[in-house]
Chain A
Amino acid sequence: MVPRRYQSAWNHYVLTGWDMEYVTEIVGNKGYIKIEGDLDSEQSGEALRKAFNQVYDQGKRTIILDLSGVQIINSYGIGKILMCYKRLKADNGALMVKPLQGFVKETFELLMLDKLLPQDE
């Protein structure tokens, strides 16, 4: 499977197809990761890990996840998010989320993750 490659206005690469990557952006001292599709598989978890490392390695310790494009999240996806949270916490950093909606919001509230991960308005 040949990955398609194109350049976005956010000055980064997005590969679709075989290799999944999430869009990242740096604005000031914050890093943003936009997650598309469901966060419920090894592939999506690996993509999150890579995107997180990409932002983290640029020295950003306040990282915001945009989950507005996520329909389904399961315990695996939540576990991956919490790994990011713990890594930042160990560095006195913070993991935040863009305002949540739908099924993801329900799941976060159910597991009280909305108390752990503040919203970035």
Chain B
Amino acid sequence: MKTIFESSRHGRRAFTVPRVEIADSDPIPAEYLNDGIDLVEVSEVDAVRHYTALSRANFGVDVGMYPLGSCTMKYNPKINERLASLDGFASLHPMLPASMQQGALRVMYELSRCLSEITGMSAFSLAPAAGAHGELAGVMVMKKYFEERKEPRTVILIPDSAHGTNPASVATCGFEVKQVTSAAGGDVDIDALKAMMSGNVAAMMLTSPNTFGLFDRNVRVIADILHANGSLFYCDGANLNAVIGKAKVADMGFDLMHINLHKTFSTPHGGGGPGAGPLGVVERLEKYLPVPVIAKSDAGYFLDEARPDSIGRIHSFFGNFLVCLRAYVYIRMLGAEGIKRTAEVAVLNANYLMARLKEIYHLPIDRRCMHEFVLSDKGLPNHITTNDIGKRILDYGFHAPTVYFPLLIPGAIMIEPTESESKETLDAFVEAMRKIREEAEENPQLVAAAPHTTPVRRVDAVAAARKPVLTWEG
């Protein structure tokens, strides 16, 4: 596939800049100016064809199913896109006086109230631009909480099954990560947890439901152990899609959480963002939330920056507002019934797939799952790996599931269908997985050399890392 630079020809242009007959009243002295830039010179039709071709080399939710565990690749409603492009939002400048931004502030305020109602958390900040950003802000809140109490706690506990952003966020704030082991059934090992309690433990971070796709049956016990120890309990809300409308995260005993709007609340993944990772807290932690806080008075919505205990600002403005707007539209359309049904169908779909796939692949933890479940590579014949299975599923018109996560399951294949997929799609996926398992037995080379029908064949990532080529040099 040619880069756009290879289509560049001197003198071509795509966009015509208007002729503006305004004289320069204050020329910039020559020593500040460059001699000209060399970006690219293409015509509009060539630019359009280039990007159209690129898009056709991409898989998307609108193309087919992404059974990616932990990613909640649900359908992105188009009405969200239309309303997020209204000029009254798109052209609204963030540094105007709040009196000119009442509509946007109202959306943020109401969305926060909806998220509070859904999760039981007392208040939310919409400033975090992604889940990891929310986690980081959450860890900063916890740090400030203990600083104020003059308790020098330096350790945060994270399960061995946690997503990599958890320890990365914790380390950024100078805490030490200590791993908590999981018991055979997939729940946190309570005895191991008790043994780790000390005055040094600030908090535990837990994904709930957990990264095996299971609801930790001891979640309240864990919360009690932590709280008795004076520690805080953080919920990584990546898997919230399993429990919305069925249980509130606060009722599980958590003190703070982040939500991934681009997972649970249908905003598009965009090929790597923008997402949003709102941070929710119980009442006693509210004072630490990032500034500004969107508040409401009789006179209207305003930005509350008079918050001396806040961790500070974490984003140049208010977070990913247009992403939050999409989530707001989604929640307003679903209502309580739609929210509950979303979780119910997500969990139904996952259990259905698990019931059918466990006949074909190894299911290491055979338990009722929530919205996702994990298979392992045990029993795969002829040196066929999880990676090979993932590549071969691409030939069948599906995206691969999440592979090699969680780390504890050897050759993990984590599958999350979401509520968007119909029974027919699920059956087609099972059928594809069944055929691949047969191929692994009878025609392993086909699987080992997959994919065969995608825009490019299996990509050499090793060479890319050995001698990185990160820009086009001509």
Partners in one complex: no
A-side residues, CB < 8 A to B, are: none
